[in-house]
Structure 1
Amino acid sequence: MANFVLVAGARLGSWAWDDVVPHLRATGHGVYPLTLSGLAEKQGVPAGQQTHVQDIVDEVERQDLRDVVLVGHSYSGIPSGQAAGRIGDRLAQVVFLDSSIPADGEAFVSAWPDGGATVRASIAENGGFWPVAPAAHFVGHGLSDEQIARIVGGSTPHPGTTLTEPAMVEKPLGDLPATYIKCTLGGPEPSNAVAKLLTSGCWRLMEMDTGHWPMFSQPRELAQILLDVAGV
């Protein structure tokens, strides 16, 4: 049986997986949605990027999980990609869900077109946090008005240092058993960095015809893809 550790992207907590979890648990697998430090019910907990990496490693070890399918969505591909290399033979598969991927010595914001200047300025103007995105940010991603309101209403400001601190990649990503799920409404092609990793014999690409938040727009379909990825 697989153990799914689910980590949502920036500003989100474990609640973001509420529509996916029942479909996975119905098949008898372990499911562990995780809130990273400083977010949702963990607001006020100091957090840097390595805090988020450790959050994931600690959850796997605390629960004594094996056959782990680690799912990192959006920003959380950054800490998940680092944590995947640190949990050793506990890892069955790491899934990058329409996510960023870590590059050793590089920050999450460094891949942005302006080198992260806009995000850094926003963090500086908002007390060290990346503010919650407005509803307009989610338009065009296959979400209903109700779903958008749910995302915005549940979001919390994101600890800025997690976005600006450099990644520390201990195991080359190309050596990890990995699946990249591309949500095509946000753009049909994976980034150049992901495309390069897909040439590795360890990586594969899957696609979803939806936007960047498939846990809301297509939870049943996402759950089935995760089950297929896990081979269960």
Structure 2
Amino acid sequence: MANYVLVAGAWLGSWAWEEVAAQLRAAGHGVHPLTLSGLAERQGEPAGQQTHVRDVVSEVERLDLREVVLVGHSYSGIPVGQAAERIGDRLARVVFVDANVPVDGEAFEDAWSVRAEITAHGGFWPPPAAGDFEGQGLTAEQVDRLVSGATPHPGATLTEPAQLAGPLSGLPALYVKCLLDGEDPGPVVTGLLEGERWSLVQMETGHWPMLSAPAELARILSDAARVTHA
């Protein structure tokens, strides 16, 4: 069985994975949802981009995990992608769930232009309002969970650049594209999907599938582990 390290995107903590984690555990996997520094129950901890990379690597090493499937959602694809190359032969596969991927020397801000908003809110990216989740396949209850659980995101993690030792194309990777958030994963991911080690799965749901479609996402993640042993 695989060991999953699940990392949610901006503003969120490990709580976002509750339903997915329960289903993966029921299938016999080890599951380790992770809250990154400065978020959720870890609010107040200082965090930059490399802090979040170390959070992921340290969790794998602290628990001495093997056959690791690293899962990064949205923003967290950036630290997870960097962590994937740093854990060596512990890695079975990395899964990017409707995620940004790291580009060496570039930051999240380079694609999303959030610096002005961060500056205006004391160094943090403020969470979305309920209306920002419309059209993403979420129930009113699920939107309430997101709004109530979200915390301001540490700005330095979004403005500091990624640091890659080698090309992402060398990692065994699955990209999960959530179609209600758009069909195009962007030019960087499109290029990576042309390589032999990357594959694509599409979901007919929105950008937060761990809430809107947890059973389907859990199945996709279980399949990702099986592929590594095919």
Question: Which residue matches 1:178?
Answer: 173
2:123 to 128, 140, 147: 128
Structure 1 residue aligned with 2:69: 69
1:205 shift after superposition: 0.4
Q: Residues 1-232 of structure 1 correspond to what in structure 2 (within 5 A)?
A: 1-112=1-112, 116=113, 119-231=114-226
Structure 2 distance, partners of 1:81, 1:128, is: 24
**Number of positions where the alignment pairs a residue of Structure 1 with one of Structure 2:** 227
3-state SS, counterpart of residue 161 of structure 2: coil
Instruction: Spell out structure 1 runs of 4+ moving beyond 6 A.
Output: none
What whole-Å deviation, never above 9, does each CA across 1:76-99 have from its counterpart, x for those lacking one?
Answer: 000000000000000000000000
Deviation at 1:196, TM superposition (A): 0.2
* Distance of 2:109 and 2:134 partners within structure 1: 22
- Separation in structure 1 between the aligned mates of residue 90 and residue 165 of structure 2, nearest angstrom: 16
Give how far 1:172 is off.
1.2
CA–CA distance in structure 1, aligned partners of residues 211 and 35 of structure 2: 17
Give the distance between the partners of 1:227 and 1:174, measured in 2 at CA: 22
State the shift of 1:4 in Å: 0.4
CA displacement, residues 62-114 of structure 1 (integer Å, 9 cap, x when unaligned): 000000000000000000000000000000000000000000000011113xx
Letter in 2 for 1:145: A
Unaligned 5+ segments in structure 1 are: none
Instruction: Name the CA distance, whole Å, in 2 between partners of 1:111 and 1:25.
Output: 35
Cα root mean square deviation, aligned: 0.8
Seq. identity, %: 66
Q: Which amino acid aligns with 1:194?
A: V
Tell me the amino acid that sits aligned with residue 111 of structure 1: A
- 3-state SS, counterpart of residue 18 of structure 1: helix
TM-score by length of 2: 0.97
Q: Per-residue deviation at 1:19? A: 1.1
